[in-house]
Structure 1
Amino acid sequence: MLKKYTYKAALALLILVSSSCDSWLDLKPENGIVGDEFWKTKEQVNSAVTGIYSSMLDPDLAEKLFLWGELRADMLQANTGIRSYELEVMNGNIVDTNPLSNWRPFYRTINQCNTVIERAPGALAEDRTFTQEQLNAYLGEAYAIRALMYFYLARSFGDVPLKLTATISDDQAVALAKTSQAKVLDQVANDLLKAEELAVITYGNSTFNKGRITKYSVNAIQADVYLWKEKYDSAIIATNKIINSGQFGLVQGVNNPQWFQQLYAQGNSSEIIFSLQFNQQRTNPFFPMFSTVTGRRFVAASRVLEDVFPPDPVDVLNADIRANAAVRVSTGAVWKYLGLTEEESRTQDQSFAHWIFYRYADVLLMKAEALVAQDNGKGEEALELIYRVRRRANALPGTDNPDINPNSMRDMIDFILEERAREFAFEGKRWYDVLRNARRANYSRQDLLNQMVIDSAPADRQQSILNKYKDQNSHYWPIFQYELTTNKSLEQNPFYKGR
């Protein structure tokens, strides 16, 4: 059994390993844990792995998980507290000095993974109580999180530098050129295969099972990656491993007044597969985004209540339960990060709602998408999965399409995207969902991106953004100017050259 860790230890290690640095990819931990004298015991390896999770709690990284997935999409509206560089993105003005294009916190976490992968095996010879099984589990966690971080980078930037060795001293600082998105995704898939082989099924503890890498969290990431790689048979296999495990299920929504607390406020329900575990010692950065206490930066876009969650025209008391979980009708406040219950709000010191990477509803809808994208007559099976999610949520008839042709890939993809917008509102998935489906089969659904612009961009900016989106390079972030200055091997995303 792996040695259990506490989140106080995680916080302490975060303080030690998250210091900044000046040269590109000189991202070594600066607390001495990289030296040969450190890797002597299983407890030290455990501390290093704990540090990987802690690094993801860095507000700069955690905020980007949300902002990269939502800011360019169609669910948010600017509020008075918005930062100028965030508003520029929403207006379609993205430049290489925008701090949101700074990928450094992701590479810092990657380097911690690389360090564990390189150094942890040496502790086996030093600590006779350290078993191969324990080492394998730690390595599985490192491979999986490295893959997840590169998956975010590849979806957000396209081509990115691929570094698979640790930077542990000044003379190892390197300047790498970019690797193609396709090759990065291949590496991600390979890392996940290793992680699946090595990771545990359970830690014997619900909190760890939801907040640390297991085989099932690896399978969830795999399914997502295979959708991007258009390997739909593999995506279905990955989702089936989770579905057939019997370890997960949808939190009952209809006639369950505790639904919101169980899924969002408490954070470790049977639906959660993998999440970032914030707590009282390490609160999340999302409460300040949406709270009036700190100057609300964002509210829900008007279309969320008009189109995503339209009211029942017959019975005003009948509602999709996800609507009230997502947004307050009266204020437009995003509620998933503000609420303790559907009615009671958090205070700032209670801002420890977890960040959900994957949950069971996502697995069902990813499988539905893979079934449909194969275009082989499995639309009926996909519909059953979609309606399983809809029934849990009391989805309203006005958001249904009873006459849908299950064998029309176009109609079914539209339906799945609409359902994903409802199910994962403000969970950092919207931009990636639309881009993934737009780019399928050599951008056969560019119209999905165009419609998102029409639905969300300011009227005086729509045509400009539509013109930009004709260039596929514009769908990705620019390389941050500081990185270009410190790493002469990097080349700017072609769309942003000379801008």
Structure 2
Amino acid sequence: MVSCVDLNLSPLSEGSSNNWYSTQAEIEMSVNDFYRTDFFPIDDMLWGDDVTARNSTSSVQNGTLTAEDGTIATRWQNYYKGIARALRLINSMDHAREVGVPEKDITQYEGEAYFYMGYAYGMLAFHWGDAILDKTGMTLDEAYKATRSPKAEVLAYSYECLDKAAERLPEKYSGLQKATKGAAYAFKARIALYNGDYAVAEEAAKKCMDLGIYKLHGNYRDLFTASASEEWIFFFRGDVTLKKYYWAGADVQNCITRLSGGWGGQKAPSYELVCAYPCTDGKPIDESPLYNPKDLFENRDPRMAMTIVPFATAYNKKVLDGTYNPKDYMWLGYEYSPDPTRTTVLRASDETQVGNNDSKARAEHASYNGFVFRKFIDESFLENGKAGAPTTYPMMRYGDVLLMYAEAMIEQGKCTQEVLDATINKLRERAYAGTNMAYPRVILGTQQQMRTVLRTERFIELAWEGQRYADLIRWRIAGKVYNRPAYFLLRAWSGSNSWDGDENKVSAEYKRLIQNWKDGNYPLGGVPQIDEDGIADLKYMVDAGYIVVATERKFDEERDYLWPVPAADILVNSNLSQNPKW
């Protein structure tokens, strides 16, 4: 079937269904064309609370989403276009046998088709609840009259398809990125977790783990710039020749510093993410005696400095004892310092001081909250005219499978120390590798304690990977998060890109920022309370004058946990019901 409003029965670039699939080459072309983000969409960076954007919030955060939203409509349409292709593919296999396609290839094609249907129906159930369920291939007339099936039926068929995919697909391919047995198990686990089916998630995640073909990458930082990894289960790899880029690699200038040729963290780590990283004793920052609010990177989980570009505050130990070395804080060829008093920083290429355009001392549009991302980014972001970087976006990785298994066991009250050691503690061990520090082993506690640990671990381990929005939705905490504002630093700057550092020449507002820095309250100040979901309450920092409200957010808990059925589809099919309050 197709989305009703889109009358094209040949999804995207596939040939006409009347004459397609006549040769194995055509079948291969159709199957291979599944593997793009039209059919496997990546959530927008701005949907989660791990990213702060300079210019805007997203419609899913600010309450402006409507049934006419283009992104929502496109997802609905493309899921059903992919399902239509998968059904035609399956229905053409008898003809494929007649023209001599080998049975082993037919089995694989069927597996890939079932994989897509299982994935697409699972995502339709998660985002829309009830959905149109087509198992055979509707005609256009039938599509115009279709009704939504109950979510439980859609999910049951999603699981059935993914089981059929796992039965048919190989464990791995040689040099290709395609759906595998492990991917079928992993996506089944994700879809089950998204929809609260913890027993199903447990079984599927364990099957993926028991395959024995995936393992954690040796270094967390390197995982996101590697050319290959045994941790990746399903991914999209950037390609300079094809000019195809993904995630941060498709948004280079928004993600890198001004001195390196970008726009100074237009997409930046949120304050909530910064506060989520526990200290090296494993405790949250509001409980750990190791937390130093005047030196934010001191004694923190190593993944913080692998995800966010570190810098020295006025209270950094080496700054205080006079041993500070700017070469310890180089990023993309320049010393990184958001210090509002630093007018110059070191350039690595010739070891000379240059204007500090990554600070409000010299640039009005330096990072609005003082932080920039490091994860996913390497020197390739400076190449190709900064048009794109060929890094990899891991839509599914083994680290996530471990977390999914741990969560399924926690939510069922079945978690043991053995489970924690095989999952969360494995991720922590990897994070601390090479630091000469013992990782803080998670010890079994109450279900609520383990839930807090798990949710915090997902926040920081999967930071800036496009998984956060779905987590907030499925945990039913999006209302809490998105009914709070997003925050920036006070918008003041020195007023001149050639400011000489004379504080008598700047505004009272900028003097306030300088004083915050000198007091150790810049970019953040004090110790926020971290709640049971690992989320910081930052309101007191506004009251104290450390940060300001950037934008208000709004989330209707009676409406926004489901997306609206596209208005255009309802317009042409009166049998389609709408979700509540849309």
Q: Structure 1 residue 274 and structure 2 residue 211: aligned?
A: no
Partner of 2:180: 214
Q: Render the CA deviation track for 1:348-390: whole Å, top value 9, x for unaligned.
A: 4443333322111111111111111121352552355211101
- Which aligned pairs between 1:128-207 and structure 2 lie closer than 5 A? 130-166=101-137, 174-203=144-173, 205=174, 207=175
Instruction: Kindly provide the amino acid, as one letter, of the partner of residue 151 in structure 1.
Output: G
- Which aligned pairs between 1:287-436 and structure 2 lie closer than 5 A? 287-289=249-251, 291-292=253-254, 298-308=267-277, 313=291, 320-328=301-309, 331=367, 332-340=371-379, 348-376=386-414, 378=416, 381-382=419-420, 384-394=422-432, 406-436=444-474
Partner of 1:248: 214
Give 1 or 2: higher helix fraction.
1
Instruction: Kindly provide the amino acid, as one letter, of the partner of residue 570 in structure 2.
Output: L
Partner of 1:5: none
1:322 deviates by 3.0
Give distance in 1, aligned partners of 2:20 and 2:69.
38
Q: 2:81 aligns with which of 103, 108, 116?
A: 108
Give distance in 2, aligned partners of 1:24 and 1:162.
17
User: Would the alpha carbon gap of residues 345 and 178 (structure 1) be closer, same or farther in structure 2, given more than 3 Å must change?
Assistant: farther
Is the contact between residue 217 and residue 273 of structure 1 (CA under 8 Å) also seen in structure 2? yes
Partner of 2:571: 485
Q: 1:284 aligns with which of 245, 253, 265?
A: 245
Q: Structure 1 residue 52 and structure 2 residue 21: aligned?
A: no
Give distance in 1, aligned partners of 2:272 and 2:8.
44
Give distance in 1, aligned partners of 2:9 and 2:237.
24
Higher mean C-alpha deviation, range 222-231 or range 271-280? 222-231
User: Would the alpha carbon gap of residues 318 and 94 (structure 1) be closer, same or farther in structure 2, given more than 3 Å must change?
Assistant: same
Is the contact between residue 34 and residue 115 of structure 1 (CA under 8 Å) also seen in structure 2? no
Q: Render the CA deviation track for 1:286-345: whole Å, top value 9, x for unaligned.
A: 34546247977632212222333779747957654433443335643444454357x978
Q: 1:98 aligns with which of 61, 66, 69?
A: 69
Give distance in 2, aligned partners of 1:425 and 1:484.
36
Q: Render the CA deviation track for 1:161-201: whole Å, top value 9, x for unaligned.
A: 2233446x866753422222222111110101111111112
User: Would the alpha carbon gap of residues 464 and 299 (structure 1) be closer, same or farther in structure 2, given more than 3 Å must change?
Assistant: closer
Give distance in 1, aligned partners of 2:211 and 2:59.
45
User: Would the alpha carbon gap of residues 163 and 355 (structure 1) be closer, same or farther in structure 2, given more than 3 Å must change?
Assistant: farther
Is the contact between residue 26 and residue 174 of structure 1 (CA under 8 Å) also seen in structure 2? no
SS at match of 1:39: coil
1:420 deviates by 0.7
User: Would the alpha carbon gap of residues 121 and 349 (structure 1) be closer, same or farther in structure 2, given more than 3 Å must change?
Assistant: farther
1:425 deviates by 0.9
Partner of 2:495: none
Q: Render the CA deviation track for 1:60-85: whole Å, top value 9, x for unaligned.
A: x66x5222xx54432122223x4xxx
Q: Structure 1 residue 474 and structure 2 residue 560: aligned?
A: yes
Give distance in 2, aligned partners of 1:227 and 1:494.
23
SS at match of 1:226: helix
Instruction: Kindly provide the amino acid, as one letter, of the partner of residue 490 in structure 1.
Output: L
Is the contact between residue 23 and residue 96 of structure 2 (CA under 8 Å) also seen in structure 1? yes
Q: 1:119 aligns with which of 67, 89, 92?
A: 92
Give distance in 2, aligned partners of 1:152 and 1:391.
32
Give distance in 2, aligned partners of 1:344 and 1:352.
11
Give distance in 2, aligned partners of 1:200 and 1:377.
31
Is the contact between residue 288 and residue 294 of structure 1 (CA under 8 Å) also seen in structure 2? no
SS at match of 1:193: helix
Is the contact between residue 90 and residue 457 of structure 1 (CA under 8 Å) also seen in structure 2? no
SS at match of 2:399: helix
Give distance in 1, aligned partners of 2:410 and 2:37.
36
Aligned-residue RMSD, C-alpha: 3.6
Give distance in 1, aligned partners of 2:136 and 2:262.
40
1:454 deviates by 5.7
SS at match of 1:239: helix
Is the contact between residue 50 and residue 463 of structure 2 (CA under 8 Å) also seen in structure 1? yes
Is the contact between residue 177 and residue 491 of structure 1 (CA under 8 Å) also seen in structure 2? yes
SS at match of 1:52: coil
SS at match of 2:34: helix
Give distance in 1, aligned partners of 2:458 and 2:186.
16
Give distance in 1, aligned partners of 2:252 and 2:27.
38
Q: Structure 1 residue 41 and structure 2 residue 14: aligned?
A: no
Instruction: Kindly provide the amino acid, as one letter, of the partner of residue 201 in structure 2.
Output: A
Unaligned runs of 5+ in 2: 255-260, 281-289, 311-335, 337-366, 488-538, 540-548
1:229 deviates by 4.8
Give distance in 2, aligned partners of 1:228 and 1:185.
11
Q: Which structure has the larger Rg?
A: 2
Give distance in 2, aligned partners of 1:153 and 1:373.
23
Is the contact between residue 278 and residue 352 of structure 1 (CA under 8 Å) also seen in structure 2? yes
SS at match of 1:484: helix
Partner of 2:524: none
Give distance in 2, aligned partners of 1:411 and 1:305.
21
Is the contact between residue 277 and residue 301 of structure 2 (CA under 8 Å) also seen in structure 1? no
User: Would the alpha carbon gap of residues 166 and 26 (structure 1) be closer, same or farther in structure 2, given more than 3 Å must change?
Assistant: farther
Give distance in 1, aligned partners of 2:277 and 2:300.
12
Q: Render the CA deviation track for 1:441-487: whole Å, top value 9, x for unaligned.
A: xxxxxxx4444236655788999846x21x2x421122222222233
Give distance in 2, aligned partners of 1:455 and 1:244.
42
Kindly tell me the number of residue pairs found equivalent between the two proteins. 438
SS at match of 2:233: strand
**TM-score normalised by L of structure 2:** 0.66
Give distance in 2, aligned partners of 1:78 and 1:213.
33
Give distance in 2, aligned partners of 1:89 and 1:252.
36
**TM-score normalised by L of structure 1:** 0.76
User: Would the alpha carbon gap of residues 74 and 319 (structure 1) be closer, same or farther in structure 2, given more than 3 Å must change?
Assistant: same
Instruction: Kindly provide the amino acid, as one letter, of the partner of residue 160 in structure 1.
Output: A
Give distance in 2, aligned partners of 1:25 and 1:177.
17
Is the contact between residue 252 and residue 388 of structure 2 (CA under 8 Å) also seen in structure 1? no
SS at match of 2:581: helix
SS at match of 1:177: coil
